[in-house]
Chain A
Amino acid sequence: MTNHKRFVVTGVALTALAAVAACSGGGGDTKTATQSGSAAEPVTINVHTFGGGENFGYDEAVKKWNAEHPNIQIKYQNLTDRFEDVYLPQLLQRLQAGAGAGDVVGIDEGAMGLMAARPQFFADLSQYGLDSRKADFPASKWEAGLNTDGKLFALGTDMGGMTMCYRKDLFEKAGLPTDREEVGKLWPDWNAFFETGKKFEAAKTGAKFMDGPNTIYNVILFQEAPKNGNLAYFDKSNQLIVEKNPAVKTSFDWVQKFSQAGLTAKLQAWSPAWDKAIKGGGFATMGCPSWMLGVIEGKAGESNKGNWDVAAVPGGSGNWGGSWLAVPKQSKHPKEAAEVLNYLTGKDGHVAAFKEAGAFPSSIPAQQDPEVSGLKNAYFNDAPTGQIFAASVANLQPVFFGEKHAQVKTAVEKVLEGMDQGAVKYDEAWTKFVEAGVKAAG
């Protein structure tokens, strides 16, 4: 644009420049000055996370760190509650552009395959001695943090031990037991869950038994996957197996059965209407990985305290979701960032996050900490969540994700939603479901 430069000396350019000058002084400059970590000026480490409600639950942990480390100050920001459609594209763009990503970034399990396939963007944490942490984590959680170059690029935060959340007030209305022990006994398996649902519907409470297709589908899928080689949509060589994997078909069939029996409120998870129904009592049960407790608390609000409770999930155990932390290569202070990551994924960080957001630790020492095993959740009638989750993740086998897992998940669940709401015919749904998966895998 050099030859145009002479012409742009118009009032326009001046106005624009004046504005630019005016706002350059403002906040929002995310860059920290490059300096050699001199003690005089503290290094700022930006921690970027995602998630609704209490998200990663690092408020307390960060306060504590900042008080103890005047030279390394954490700036903790939860960018959005939407991982797949806001956080992930933004993170990828910032990685690609080489600027703008946090020094420590949260990554959801659905995108771990994608990130592992992009080793060029992340710092090798073993350079900072974090490979010594291997014994702290279950093997599967640890291995997911190794990228395609075999380097350690991420350490685990929470995992999603599985429970069933239910609304006490609606259960009471339907004449069902309300005590969590007894509720758990209502459904040792999914068949019993189905029968309970029919009883609930017969009581005509005005609410539906379950929210919709998504949460139940995921709960069952992650219970079934370990029975089929720990696979969901892709096999270890990244081939799509959506049609071949019995785990997928079983989960699909259950959702279809619930939907056809009219047990669902026909709500898509994460839609505004779903939010409203969580608050307003539109349905009585939903599949609840541990991190969902924070979501419910955030969405149902103070006025619903004590209405929601947690019981054992049919079929006993499972894991859905969970996250990791990584340090992008573009960080100006990778060493300090790794220190912060080490702290947040360490025992204290895990315990603090569990207390704050109900995020169940993937760290073994943290799981064994009495603060975790003995914790009760006040919002959920003092449910002993520490015990409930620990029971559900004992001898857990997490699932392999392909690079396109998130895309396939979104596409096939859309078909489930369509089926549940009547936009897709029941007898065509499986065909459409497989088609959607194939298309999304590209």
Chain B
Amino acid sequence: MRNKPWDATLLTKITLVFALIMSAFPIYYMFIMATRTNEDAVETPPPLLPGGHLGENVERLLATEDANFVTGLVNSAIVATTVTVSVVLISTLAGFAFAKLRFPGSKLLLGLILVTMMVPLQQMGVVPLYELMVTLGWTGRLQSVILPFLVNGFGVFMMTQYTSQAVPDELVEAARVDGATTMGIYRRIVVPALRPGMAVLALLVFMQTWNEFMWPLIVLTPDNPVVQTSIAALNSAHGTDYVMLFTGTAASVLPLFVVFVLFGRQIVGGLMEGAVKA
């Protein structure tokens, strides 16, 4: 990454610090609430410093049988991981084909994907998808929340864009001359070049799947929830136990933060490298 030899003005620094505070504050607030009591939660002004009640909030959270919070966490991890791995694989394969291979109809097929991205499947697909899952006998099981999320036009689109910049044509050509098969090119040239892009896509997909709420609410049962429906159940079991709700919410975003911090460098790098010369 090249950097322009400009120094940040004081105004810039203030802007950035302000932006950072704005970004972090609501999250900070959530973690604060997870360490307070319900009496604190309804105070004016609202509490802004941590209290010492995290332990008991977590205990109450785990003791709420209706919520099956731990099951929810495990299920969400299974679902999000499976969906992420599959979508990244599907998207890089298709993206590579669209960006670097010639085949009749590729334009049309890619255009179709753009249109599919505009379909509000969230709202349109619920009734037919539910009937489909019933027919397959999958209601209440995890595959019912995994399979529909494998359809991810954004991923294909993004990987197409990314591959066209990240993989030089010359490399593909040279490999062809050496007699490499298409899959060989994919494995030896495309995948290594796409790593940063894959990291970004993986994060976005993992996040989206982890945070999905509406569809699991309809198709799963409370005894086998995902983390978001588990939080909804917490909310209904203890409507006014706000701090427990915040504790659950905090616990539900924590895994994402961990993933984010671990892969932060690659993710930012990937986002940055995805840039294109205008």
Which of A187-195, A273-281, A348-356 binds B? A273-281
Give A100's nearest chain B residue, CB to CB.
B139
Bits for B34-70, please: 1 = Cβ < 8 Å to A, else 0.
Answer: 0000110010000000000000000000000010000
Which of B22-30, B85-93, B204-212, B257-265 binds A? B85-93
B15 within 8 A of partner (CB): no
Minimum distance in angstroms from A88 CB to a CB of chain B: 13
Which of B107-115, B213-221, B266-274 binds A? B213-221
Contact of B82 among A16, A98, A99, A100 (CB under 8 A): A16
Give A21's nearest chain B residue, CB to CB.
B143
Give A86's nearest chain B residue, CB to CB.
B217
Interface class of chain A by DSSP: helix
Minimum distance in angstroms from A369 CB to a CB of chain B: 29
Minimum distance in angstroms from A297 CB to a CB of chain B: 11
Listed by A's residue number, 25 A-B pairs whose Cβ atoms lie within 8 Å are: A11-B89, A12-B90, A16-B82, A16-B86, A16-B150, A20-B142, A23-B78, A26-B75, A28-B140, A28-B142, A29-B141, A52-B239, A77-B222, A77-B223, A80-B222, A81-B239, A93-B130, A97-B131, A99-B134, A99-B139, A272-B239, A276-B42, A278-B240, A299-B240, A301-B240
B253 within 8 A of partner (CB): no
Taking A12-B90, A19-B82 as contacts, is the C-beta distance between A279 and B42 under 8 angstroms?
yes
Which of B116-124, B166-174, B230-238 binds A? B230-238
Q: How many residue pairs bridge A and B at CB < 8 Å?
A: 113
Q: Give B156-203 interface residues, CB cut-off 8 Å to A.
A: none
Q: Is B85 a contact partner of A15 (Cβ separation < 8 A)?
A: yes
Taking A97-B130, A279-B38, A280-B42 as contacts, is the C-beta distance between A16 and B139 under 8 angstroms?
no
Q: Which 6 A-B pairs have the closest CB atoms?
A: A28-B224, A81-B236, A23-B142, A97-B134, A19-B82, A275-B240
Taking A31-B137, A279-B42 as contacts, is the C-beta distance between A16 and B147 under 8 angstroms?
yes
Minimum distance in angstroms from A143 CB to a CB of chain B: 31
Bits for A27-70, please: 1 = Cβ < 8 Å to B, else 0.
Answer: 11111000000000000000000001000000000000000000
Interface class of chain B by DSSP: helix
Bits for B232-255, please: 1 = Cβ < 8 Å to A, else 0.
Answer: 110011111110000000000000
- Chain A contacts for B241, CB-based, 8 A: 301
- Chain A contacts for B227, CB-based, 8 A: none
Minimum distance in angstroms from B166 CB to a CB of chain A: 21
Q: Is B140 a contact partner of A24 (Cβ separation < 8 A)?
A: no
Q: Is A16 a contact partner of B146 (Cβ separation < 8 A)?
A: yes
Give B81's nearest chain A residue, CB to CB.
A19
- Chain B contacts for A77, CB-based, 8 A: 221-223
- Chain A contacts for B232, CB-based, 8 A: 80
Q: Is A93 a contact partner of B218 (Cβ separation < 8 A)?
A: yes
A300 within 8 A of partner (CB): yes
Please report the C-alpha to C-alpha distance between residue A82 and residue B229 in the assembled complex, in whole angstroms.
Answer: 13
Contact of B236 among A19, A29, A80, A97 (CB under 8 A): A80
Minimum distance in angstroms from B148 CB to a CB of chain A: 11
Give B217's nearest chain A residue, CB to CB.
A86
Contact of B134 among A79, A100, A301, A303 (CB under 8 A): A100
Q: Which of B71, B86, B137, B236 has the most CB of A within 10 A?
A: B236
Residues of chain A whose beta carbon lies under 8 Å from any beta carbon of chain B: 10-12, 15-16, 19-20, 22-24, 26-31, 52, 77-82, 86, 90, 93, 96-100, 272, 275-276, 278-280, 298-301, 303
Please report the C-alpha to C-alpha distance between residue A24 and residue B147 in the assembled complex, in whole angstroms.
Answer: 14
Please report the C-alpha to C-alpha distance between residue A181 and residue B56 in the assembled complex, in whole angstroms.
Answer: 40
Q: Is A15 a contact partner of B86 (Cβ separation < 8 A)?
A: yes
Q: Is A300 a contact partner of B240 (Cβ separation < 8 A)?
A: yes
Please report the C-alpha to C-alpha distance between residue A20 and residue B240 in the assembled complex, in whole angstroms.
Answer: 37
Please report the C-alpha to C-alpha distance between residue A418 and residue B221 in the assembled complex, in whole angstroms.
Answer: 35
Contact of A28 among B130, B221, B236 (CB under 8 A): B221
Q: Is A30 a contact partner of B239 (Cβ separation < 8 A)?
A: no
Please report the C-alpha to C-alpha distance between residue A300 and residue B142 in the assembled complex, in whole angstroms.
Answer: 36
Q: What 13 additional pairs, Cβ within 8 angstroms, besides A93-B218, A278-B240?
A: A12-B86, A15-B85, A16-B86, A19-B143, A26-B141, A27-B223, A31-B137, A52-B236, A80-B222, A81-B237, A97-B139, A280-B42, A298-B240
- Chain B contacts for A20, CB-based, 8 A: 142-143, 146
Please report the C-alpha to C-alpha distance between residue A79 and residue B220 in the assembled complex, in whole angstroms.
Answer: 11
Q: Is A29 a contact partner of B140 (Cβ separation < 8 A)?
A: yes
Please report the C-alpha to C-alpha distance between residue A80 and residue B137 in the assembled complex, in whole angstroms.
Answer: 23
Minimum distance in angstroms from A20 CB to a CB of chain B: 4
Q: Is B86 a contact partner of A23 (Cβ separation < 8 A)?
A: no
Please report the C-alpha to C-alpha distance between residue A6 and residue B85 in the assembled complex, in whole angstroms.
Answer: 21
Give A50's nearest chain B residue, CB to CB.
B236
- Chain B contacts for A78, CB-based, 8 A: 66
Q: Is A23 a contact partner of B240 (Cβ separation < 8 A)?
A: no
Please report the C-alpha to C-alpha distance between residue A301 and residue B220 in the assembled complex, in whole angstroms.
Answer: 29
Please report the C-alpha to C-alpha distance between residue A345 and residue B130 in the assembled complex, in whole angstroms.
Answer: 32
- Chain A contacts for B131, CB-based, 8 A: 96-97
Please report the C-alpha to C-alpha distance between residue A93 and residue B132 in the assembled complex, in whole angstroms.
Answer: 12
Taking A12-B90, A97-B134 as contacts, is the C-beta distance between A298 and B140 under 8 angstroms?
no
- Chain B contacts for A23, CB-based, 8 A: 75, 78, 141-143, 146
Q: Is A98 a contact partner of B134 (Cβ separation < 8 A)?
A: yes
Q: Is A298 a contact partner of B89 (Cβ separation < 8 A)?
A: no
Q: Is B38 a contact partner of A299 (Cβ separation < 8 A)?
A: no
Minimum distance in angstroms from A329 CB to a CB of chain B: 15
Minimum distance in angstroms from B249 CB to a CB of chain A: 13
Minimum distance in angstroms from B11 CB to a CB of chain A: 40
- Chain A contacts for B143, CB-based, 8 A: 16, 19-20, 23-24
Minimum distance in angstroms from B144 CB to a CB of chain A: 10
Please report the C-alpha to C-alpha distance between residue A26 and residue B221 in the assembled complex, in whole angstroms.
Answer: 13
Q: Is B223 a contact partner of A19 (Cβ separation < 8 A)?
A: no
- Chain B contacts for A81, CB-based, 8 A: 236-237, 239
Minimum distance in angstroms from B119 CB to a CB of chain A: 20
Please report the C-alpha to C-alpha distance between residue A31 and residue B239 in the assembled complex, in whole angstroms.
Answer: 30
Please report the C-alpha to C-alpha distance between residue A102 and residue B240 in the assembled complex, in whole angstroms.
Answer: 28
- Chain B contacts for A96, CB-based, 8 A: 131
Minimum distance in angstroms from B222 CB to a CB of chain A: 6
Please report the C-alpha to C-alpha distance between residue A27 and residue B39 in the assembled complex, in whole angstroms.
Answer: 37
Please report the C-alpha to C-alpha distance between residue A280 and residue B140 in the assembled complex, in whole angstroms.
Answer: 38
- Chain B contacts for A27, CB-based, 8 A: 71, 223-224
Please report the C-alpha to C-alpha distance between residue A22 and residue B137 in the assembled complex, in whole angstroms.
Answer: 16
Give B219's nearest chain A residue, CB to CB.
A100
